[in-house]
């Protein structure tokens, strides 16, 4: 598990370098496209927080793994279709892709039905990219208020995926500013290539896949799941 140990070490070093409290950054090991055989050694090494980007793929592999690790902390980091809300809320402990009013209403309805709700992150489209999911930065305050104050949802933070090929730090800084302005304590930002820069700018949850598991064969693209 050298990948996991290396990433853990790099996170602790970045915390020290950037004056962040030790263990203030939580590692989400992104296991999308990887099967149980690749995941089990991480569970054996003590890793409990994992991320998946498709509901169906997660449903196929995690129930069996969870029975061996009841303290698992499973995060949905990919887009969520409203009609998969029930399945997602039955499986995941946190959802990072709350990105539109219709989904917020579906989550609130299901939360009322089952009497609990995963921790929620509002996804912000910091680069205002037309093809990318997320609330536009200008709409973030209003959407957070609607989710939290009108629908009563447990919004804990914000999440972003910066545009490919541009320096990510301005996007991380924008997300941190929006979170602070809205009194949100969690920031889901930073992937294999840039988690140290994200930690410098306040990330509390980094989502790291390939640096732990190796390069994915399939893209693991963020298609709706
Ligand atoms: C795949 C994925 C990651 C992890 O990406 P790596 O570059 O493999 O670390 C992080 N966040 C989201 C939303 C993803 O889909």
What span, in angstroms and rounded, lies between the C-alpha atoms of 97 and 9? 28
Q: Residue 221: pLDDT band by 50, 70, 90 thresholds?
A: low
Tens-place pLDDT, residues 113-157: 999 999 999 999 999 999 999 999 999 999 999 999 999 999 999
What span, in angstroms and rounded, lies between the C-alpha atoms of 181 and 139? 13
Tens-place pLDDT, residues 155-205: 999 999 999 999 999 999 999 999 999 999 999 999 999 999 999 999 999
Tens-place pLDDT, residues 45-73: 999 999 999 999 999 999 999 988 999 99
Q: Is the CB of 208 under 6 A from ligand 1?
A: yes
In this predicted structure, the answer to whether residue 223 has a pLDDT above a threshold of 50 is no
Residue nearest to atom 11 of ligand 1 (CA): 207
- Mean pLDDT across 14-39: 97
Residue nearest to atom 10 of ligand 1 (CA): 207
The pLDDT > 70 percentage for the chain reads 96
> Ligand 1 atom closest to Cα of 213?
8
CB 199 within 8 A of CB 20: yes
How remote is the CA of residue 140 from the centroid of ligand 1, in Å? 22
CB 39 within 8 A of CB 15: no
Q: Is the CB of 178 under 6 A from ligand 1?
A: no
Q: For helices 36-44 and 55-68, what crossing angle results, to 10°?
A: 40
Most ligand 1 atoms within 8 A of CB, residue of 191, 192, 195 to mutate: 191
> Ligand 1 atom closest to Cα of 161?
13
Give the number of other CB atoms < 10 A from CB of residue 214: 11
């Amino acid at each position: 598990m050298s990948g996991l140990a290396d990433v853990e070490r790099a996170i602790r070093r970045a915390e020290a370098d950037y004056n962040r409290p030790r263990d203030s950054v939580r590692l989400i090991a992104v296991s999308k496209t990887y099967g149980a055989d690749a995941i089990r050694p991480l569970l054996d090494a003590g890793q409990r927080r994992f991320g998946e980007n498709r509901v169906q793929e997660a449903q196929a592999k995690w129930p069996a793994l969870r029975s061996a690790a009841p303290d698992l902390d499973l995060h949905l980091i990919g887009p969520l279709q409203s009609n998969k809300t029930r399945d997602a809320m039955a499986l995941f402990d946190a959802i990072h892709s709350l990105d539109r009013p219709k989904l917020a209403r579906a989550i609130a309805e299901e939360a009322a039905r089952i009497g609990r709700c995963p921790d929620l992150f509002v996804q912000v489209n910091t680069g205002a990219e037309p093809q990318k999911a997320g609330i536009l930065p200008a709409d973030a305050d209003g959407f957070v208020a609607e989710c939290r104050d009108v629908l009563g949802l447990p919004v804990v933070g914000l999440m972003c995926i910066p545009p490919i090929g541009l320096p990510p730090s301005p996007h991380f800084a924008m997300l941190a500013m929006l979170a602070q302005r809205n009194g949100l304590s969690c920031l889901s930002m930073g992937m294999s290539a840039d988690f140290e820069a994200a930690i410098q700018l306040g990330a509390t949850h980094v989502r790291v896949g390939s640096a732990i598991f190796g390069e994915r064969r399939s893209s693991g693209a963020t298609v709706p799941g």
